[in-house]
Amino acid sequence: MDRLTELHRHIDCSIRASTLAELARQSGLKEIKSEKEVREHFWLTRPMNSLNEVLERLVIFQKVLSSVAILEQVACEVVEDAHQEGIGELELRYSPNFASGLSKIPWEDVLNAFVRGLTRGSAKTGVKTGLICILGRGGPPSLADEVIDFAVAHKKNFIAVDLAGPEENFPCRLYKEAFRRAVDEGFPVTIHAGEACGPENIWEAIDLLGATRIGHGVHAVEDKELMKRLAQDRILLETCPTSNTITQAVSKWEEHPLPQFLEAGIPVSISTDDPGIFGITLQEEFERCKKYLGLTDSDIHQINQTAHRHTFLK
């Protein structure tokens, strides 16, 4: 098989199990004592009650990402691990305010550390990488401007912008002005939408925020007109089926709408989202799609080609 393209992976939620255990030990965190504990207790492998429960899990990453040296190491390892999974093109994303949330490391230093790590990882493995800047939902209104200003000021280090975090109470329209500025600056846009909320958030992501790709988008299946629009305008859905079953965006694996998206002619990719939380590789994600959704090797091959065509990497 050709080298794989992964479009949707959060860099700070992809920490290697052994590294997470070691960093937790160094930081004196009681929650995690060994790699075995990461694998058996920290990783979420069964459905949770909601996306919010998963988001709460992320605090541990903020706790351990406490120095630029650690950020650089983690970024480099994320690329090495992706290479092991057969990935040749890797888009990684993170939210500057989340990554600095506890450590208070300046945003610029976090970015530079990630870039150094990615550069090192790419030099070792040949994997092509790029960073997407995430604006997190739910912050004060000034945060939206701050994050977009940051992305614009570091245009050479970001390949696109994204909106993520709890969809309820924070519809896309709240971020219209911020994303208009990003689009004017020439940034491609992908938006986490239709994961915890319905199709209306996907419409807004496309029509108000200028998204050409949608993170998850599972609830698009409830709206025939939207399905047509996605197919017609070649708007790609970055599906992450394991993540969707664990956050309960879909109630069970067999009900994931990925096959319906394919049937409707919508461009679709498959990603792991957060391998450091769900304990999954891209290959395993493909295997599950074959097992639970009846996808064939040829489908997987086509989906990988589609991901390659829709990458924001230059």
Of the two residues 81 and 273, which places its CB atom closer to Zn ion in the complex? 273
Of the two residues 125 and 239, which places its CB atom closer to Zn ion in the complex? 239
Of the two residues 167 and 273, which places its CB atom closer to Zn ion in the complex? 273
Minimum distance from CB of 48 to Zn ion (Å)?
15
Minimum distance from CB of 124 to Zn ion (Å)?
26
Of the two residues 24 and 54, which places its CB atom closer to Zn ion in the complex? 54
Distance from C-alpha of 305 to C-alpha of 292, rounded to nearest angstrom: 21
- Contact predicate 57/277, CB 8 Å: yes
Binding site for Zn ion (CB under 5 A): 273
Distance from C-alpha of 202 to C-alpha of 13, rounded to nearest angstrom: 24
* Long-range contacts of 216-219, Cβ-Cβ distance < 8 Å, separation of 24 or more: 216/192, 216/240, 216/243, 216/244, 216/249, 217/193, 218/194, 218/244, 218/249, 218/250, 218/256, 218/257, 219/194, 219/195, 219/249
Closest residue to Zn ion, based on beta-carbon distance: 273
Minimum distance from CB of 273 to Zn ion (Å)?
5
The alpha carbon torsion through 219, 175, 144, 11 (nearest 10 deg) reads 20
Minimum distance from CB of 8 to Zn ion (Å)?
6
* Residues with catalytic roles: 195
Minimum distance from CB of 164 to Zn ion (Å)?
6
Of the two residues 164 and 227, which places its CB atom closer to Zn ion in the complex? 164
